[in-house]
Chain A
Amino acid sequence: MIEVQDLHKTFATKTGSVKAVQGVSFSARDGEITGLLGPNGAGKTTTLRMLYTLMAPDSGSVRVDQFDVQRDAEAVRRRLGVLPDARGVYKRLTARENIAYFGRLHGMSEAAIAQRIEVLSEALDMAEVLDRQTEGFSQGQRTKTAIARALVHDPKNVILDEPTNGLDVMTTRAMRDFLRQLRAEGRCVIFSSHIMQEVAALCDRIVVIAHGRVMAEGTADELRAHTGEQNLEDAFVKVIGSEEGLHA
């Protein structure tokens, strides 16, 4: 369970300041997939970064399973599995070593790590590449390694920043199945995307973000009803106010 309350974040730049996030609130429930949909530069990544304690909000609060991100940052990080926008893997380590490294940083025992790697390797279909150094991995194999690494400690809450970015059709399909599996396991899943179709196909709840603000929130049906549009794509465009930066 992740509850976001009125987040604000401003960055200082050479030319002045940029209000990246200005008043984002939503909540993501366990056993549901919550999608953050918005054009590029809408503030999705900054919002997520405040969720996994990489950045501190200027104002507002985030609670993960009742833990506040600012007061109990470490407890929050223990309860989160994070696939950030930056998902580099160590290319001279094997996929297994990459995953085990993060397991150790979560304080897991070697036996528990080995067991989790078996489970994740099966779920993500990566047994073949598990003991290869990740140098020369395809984009899909790298993303799978990064996801397995993020989930090694069996977190209750999962945050994925554009998980299907740069993946081919087959891998994208597999990734969507994997997200559904996470939901079926009762986890709270948040993922961001600028691809409408993906959000519509996967999400129980959709949070539409543009210009650092939440423009609309609800199920796909609620969004359609809210905008009076039959077509979901038209509903999004109406909510955001322009078609800029959005993929069908």
Chain B
Amino acid sequence: MKALWTVARKELTDLFRDRRTVLISLVMGPMLMPVLVLGIGKLATNRMESQLEKPLEVPVIGAQNAPNLVAWLEGQNIVIKPAPADPEAAIRDQSQDVILSIDSRYGQQWRGSQAAAVQIIHDSSRDDSRIPVERLETLLQNYSQTVGALRLVARGVSPGVVQAVRVEHRDLATPESRIGQILSFLPYMLILVGFIGGAALVIDVTAGERERQSLEPLLATPAARTTIMSGKIAAACVFGLINLVLTMAMFKLSFQLAPTFGFKLDVSYWAIARILLVLVPIVLISTTLLTVIAAGAKSVKEAQSYMSLLMLLPMLPTIILMVNPVKNQLWMLATPFLAQNQMILKLVRGEGISALEWTVYLLAGFGAGVVLWLIAARRYQHERLAISG
């Protein structure tokens, strides 16, 4: 046990003397987090506000066919523009979000009380045009309903007759759960910080130490290999946790400094502490997993090349849930990365987590860490471990 702390203390001393590395991981890393969170959040809300409230410019083809409709639209915060020469090209090269085309038979159909045809030209695969298209479509529907109702009244029929079912929404989204939606990338960011916080160090103390030719003398001391390995993992865990604590502190600070952000996020010390607890197993899993890899790899370069692949791991649940949203189930809390994702979302959305869920989560998380530690310990016993080249 004493040897374990000797190793851990030495690795941390060694690391903290490398000021540039420490500065990059402990200052720039945590600073990047709020910049991203606030920056992206601010951008998104800005866009949304401007797209929802600013006058919408709509080029209209055949505006002369429906002067009343055009005049009504102009009264609804829409600026009518002359149609471009090639409307389809304008949509395709993204110079226009949406174009309205009014058929030349519009007037004739209108007078005959037929459904008068208009066309909204847009590209549904462009996320950018979603809000303008929705805005225009809603306005056109309103216009259609209003005029339709007036026509019925003129014929002595109640407009309610044609409305067999009236649909109303009761939206139960809380302000916190809306945030969860907006910040769906937040768990991924936090898991990634937990995952890579101690990664560089833990690869360096095994594969790097071997490359620098100092692992062989170290293993010739009476300290057991498992003890030496555990000391190295402990040092990386400590560093990863420092990184996490700083990141979470910056996270809390940035949300407090931005009171006009538009929504409230649970960043109380209690919530922050629980998010930290959720991320602790990730630190353990990351450092033990990378020790397994570093002990088996021939060089630091080889060990690091696994990193780009491993960075995808925390991203997987976010992507899968985006493509195929599923209901929260208990087994998810036993699946690494997916579990952290769900737990953090629950916490920032202000949802309760039951004692059973905590138990399953922590047992599974630390259990995975212990299993990886055992595999790493086996790998450390390999006699090829110390020999470089």
Residues of A within 8 A of B (CB): 52-56, 74, 77-78, 80, 82-93, 97, 101-102, 104-107, 133, 146, 149-150
Contact between chains at A78 and B222 (CB < 8 Å)? yes
Contact between chains at A82 and B10 (CB < 8 Å)? no
* Residues of the A chain whose Cβ atoms lie less than 8 Å from the Cβ of B49: none
Contact between chains at B17 and A52 (CB < 8 Å)? no
B128 interfacial contact with A, CB 8 Å: no
Contact between chains at A84 and B220 (CB < 8 Å)? yes
Contact between chains at B214 and A88 (CB < 8 Å)? yes
Contact between chains at A80 and B10 (CB < 8 Å)? no
- What is the bound-complex CA distance between A53 and B383, given in angstroms? 9
Q: Which of B218, B220, B386 contacts A80 (CB 8 A)?
A: B220
Closest B-chain residue to A79, C-beta based? B222
Q: Which of B10, B214, B222, B223 contacts A86 (CB 8 A)?
A: B214
Known: A77-B221, A102-B221. A92 touches B215 (CB 8 A): no
B151 interfacial contact with A, CB 8 Å: no
Closest A-chain residue to B388, C-beta based? A86
Most buried by B among A77, A84, A97: A84
Known: A86-B217, A149-B217. A107 touches B13 (CB 8 A): no
Q: Which of A54, A101, A107, A146 contacts B222 (CB 8 A)?
A: A107
B213 interfacial contact with A, CB 8 Å: yes
Known: A90-B214, A150-B217. A105 touches B383 (CB 8 A): no
6 pairs across A/B with beta carbons < 8 Å? A84-B220, A86-B215, A93-B10, A93-B14, A102-B217, A105-B223
Contact between chains at B222 and A88 (CB < 8 Å)? no
Known: A54-B386, A92-B18, A105-B6. A86 touches B216 (CB 8 A): yes
Q: Which of A85, A87, A92, A106 contacts B221 (CB 8 A)?
A: A106
Closest A-chain residue to B14, C-beta based? A92
- What is the bound-complex CA distance between A87 and B216, given in angstroms? 8
* Residues of the B chain whose Cβ atoms lie less than 8 Å from the Cβ of A85: 216
Contact pattern, B 369-389, Cβ under 8 Å of A = 1, otherwise 0: 000000000000001001110
* Residues of the A chain whose Cβ atoms lie less than 8 Å from the Cβ of B7: 105
Contact between chains at A84 and B217 (CB < 8 Å)? yes
How large, as a class, is the contact surface on chain B?
A: 20 to 34
* Residues of the A chain whose Cβ atoms lie less than 8 Å from the Cβ of B277: none
Contact pattern, B 212-237, Cβ under 8 Å of A = 1, otherwise 0: 11111111111110000000000000
Contact between chains at B219 and A54 (CB < 8 Å)? yes
Q: Which of B3, B18, B214, B216 contacts A54 (CB 8 A)?
A: B216
Contact between chains at B383 and A74 (CB < 8 Å)? no
Apart from A87-B214, A93-B10: 16 A-B pairs, beta carbons within 8 A: A53-B220, A54-B219, A54-B383, A77-B220, A82-B217, A86-B217, A88-B212, A88-B214, A93-B14, A101-B6, A104-B3, A107-B222, A133-B17, A146-B217, A149-B217, A150-B217
Cβ-closest 4 pairs across A and B: A88-B213, A88-B214, A86-B213, A86-B216
Contact between chains at B18 and A74 (CB < 8 Å)? no
Known: A55-B383, A92-B17, A93-B10. A105 touches B221 (CB 8 A): yes
* Residues of the A chain whose Cβ atoms lie less than 8 Å from the Cβ of B17: 92-93, 133
B2 interfacial contact with A, CB 8 Å: yes
Contact between chains at A86 and B386 (CB < 8 Å)? yes
* Residues of the A chain whose Cβ atoms lie less than 8 Å from the Cβ of B212: 88, 91
Q: How far is the CB of A45 from chain B (nearest CB, A)?
A: 10
Closest B-chain residue to A53, C-beta based? B220
- What is the bound-complex CA distance between A135 and B270, given in angstroms? 45
Closest A-chain residue to B210, C-beta based? A86
* Residues of the B chain whose Cβ atoms lie less than 8 Å from the Cβ of A54: 216, 219-220, 383, 386-387
Q: Which of B10, B215, B220, B383 contacts A56 (CB 8 A)?
A: B383
Q: How far is the CB of B190 from chain A (nearest CB, A)?
A: 31
- What is the bound-complex CA distance between A83 and B216, given in angstroms? 9
Closest A-chain residue to B385, C-beta based? A54
* Residues of the B chain whose Cβ atoms lie less than 8 Å from the Cβ of A55: 383
- What is the bound-complex CA distance between A62 and B275, given in angstroms? 54
Contact between chains at A105 and B3 (CB < 8 Å)? yes
* Residues of the B chain whose Cβ atoms lie less than 8 Å from the Cβ of A92: 14, 17-18
